[in-house]
Homo-oligomer: A and B are copies of this chain.
Amino acid sequence: MPRWQPGARERLQATTLELFAEQGFEQTTVAEIASRAGLTERTFFRYFADKREVLFAGQDEFAGLFLDHIATASPDAEPFAVIMRAVRAAVTEFFPVKRRSFSRRRQTIIDANPGLQERELLKLAGLTEAMAAALQRRGTPEPTALLSAECGVTVFRVAFSRWVEGSEDRELVAILDDVLGEVRALTAVT
């Protein structure tokens, strides 16, 4: 068997989601995933540290996109504008409509497992901190940097949860702008 299997990563991801959906996260073993994908366990571990990482492997890449966009933003842009532009650019690249079906299946699995939810929340908290640090490197004072990052991540989370719901057919970036408009309207009237 060759060391590198063309399409093996995607096949392992699809098979993993399939098995998690069929029999639950806890009950699924790496041996089963590899066997159903027609690959060896060794091949699995070439791509993922463990079965949980199949669900979270993309997040570092996504965080990297975000941070690149913050780092390269115009030096005189307002902090929250920088964050929102980075969010729009990152979701446009990372969450095209064709990815929605994967994201939906993934979300169903995470929502069913408190341990996976905790992992997801911790990853998002880490992203928030990294975004705030990136703003501080541009000269934004810490309190404003943190608040801008928290608000940006809140808008992203709410928009993302609408996007993975059954009733939404629009691009994530369009939903994002809706949510931002709603935040403005909501907070204006208190």
By a beta-carbon cutoff of 8 Å, the part of chain A in contact with chain B is 78-81, 84, 114, 117-119, 121-122, 125, 143-144, 146-148, 150-151, 154, 157-158, 161-162, 179-180, 182-184, 186-190
Contact partner, A80, options B79, B119, B162, B187, Cβ 8 Å: B187
Q: Which residues of B lie under 8 Å from residue A188 when comparing CB positions?
A: 184
Q: How far is the CA of A158 from the CA of B125 in the complex (A)?
A: 12
In the complex, the chain B residue whose C-beta lies closest to that of A81 is B190
CB distance from A63 to the nearest CB of B (A): 17
CA distance A125 to B119 in the complex (A): 12
* Given A118-B119, A187-B184, A187-B187, also A147-B81 (CB < 8 A): no
Docked pose: A38 CA to B81 CA in angstroms: 56
Nearest CB on B from A148, distance (A): 6
Chain B residue nearest in CB terms to A125: B121
The residue from B121, B161, B187 contacting A146, defined by CB atoms under 8 A apart? B161
Closest to A114 in B: B122
Taking a contact as CB atoms under 8 Å apart, the answer to whether B186 and A79 are in contact is yes
